[in-house]
């Protein structure tokens, strides 16, 4: 499992020109699954994500989590995080979990995040989405369960 995390504000996700998820301050999490990911991977990365200290404290040092700032998470399914570009120029997605299973895992992941009393906004699984955000810093971090 992989999560590309961006510290963001004013982030939205739209489908067919309609906003389906929106946060004002928090994390934008692009979430991808591979075939052998488990519920334990979900629990591990959910805990890691909500406790990741990438928000500034009063001394302008990244020392606070999304929980500490009472922020939100915009969670977006992103199978392309498992793109393999080693051969040729066209990415292969054979390592990405099949959509039927990934949809369930994505739902479980978002429910796990909500257990931390965080507002979780989402896109719509397996649709073309437009993600718009202001990446503060910028801060972008890759989390992996392996």
Residues 16-30: tens digit of each pLDDT: 999 999 999 999 999
Which two structure tokens, joined as six digits, stand for 1? 């499992």
Residues 23-57: tens digit of each pLDDT: 999 999 999 999 999 999 999 999 999 999 999 99
Q: What is the DSSP letter of 44?
A: H
Which two structure tokens, joined as six digits, stand for 88? 């040729």
What are the b/e assignments for 14-33, b being 16+ CB within 10 Å?
Answer: beeeeeebebebbbbbbbbb
User: Of 92, 76, 79, whose CA–CA distance to 15 is shortest?
Assistant: 76
Total structural domains within the chain: 1
**CATH code at 50?**
3.50.80.10
Residues 129-143: tens digit of each pLDDT: 999 999 999 999 999
146 confidence band (pLDDT: 50, 70, 90) = confident
Q: Give phi and psi for 57, each to the nearest 5.
A: -90, -170
Q: What is the pLDDT averaged over residues 76-81?
A: 95
Q: What percent of the chain has pLDDT over 70?
A: 100
CA diameter of the chain: 48
11 - beta bridge partners?
A: 23
Q: How far apart are CA 73 and CA 84, in angstroms?
A: 27
Active site residue 80: yes
Q: Can you give the residue range of the structural domain that contains 10? A: 2-144
Average pLDDT, the chain: 96
59 confidence band (pLDDT: 50, 70, 90) = very high
Residue length, the chain?
A: 146
Catalytic-role residue among 38, 80, 127, 134 = 80
Residues 84-102: tens digit of each pLDDT: 999 999 999 999 999 999 9
Place of tokens 């080693």: 86
């Amino acid at each position: 499992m992989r999560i590309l995390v961006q510290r963001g504000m004013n982030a939205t996700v739209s489908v067919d020109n309609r906003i389906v998820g929106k946060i004002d301050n928090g994390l934008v999490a692009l979430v991808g699954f591979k075939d052998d990911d488990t519920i334990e991977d979900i629990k591990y990365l959910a805990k890691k994500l909500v406790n990741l200290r990438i928000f500034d404290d009063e001394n302008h040092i990244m020392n606070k989590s999304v929980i500490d700032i009472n922020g939100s998470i915009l969670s977006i399914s992103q199978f392309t995080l498992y793109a393999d570009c080693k051969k040729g120029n066209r990415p292969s997605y054979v390592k990405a979990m099949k959509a039927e299973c990934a949809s369930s895992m994505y739902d479980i992941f978002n429910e796990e995040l909500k257990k931390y009393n965080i507002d979780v906004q989402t896109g719509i699984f397996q649709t073309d989405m437009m993600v718009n955000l202001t990446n503060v810093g910028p801060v972008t971090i890759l989390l992996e369960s392996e």
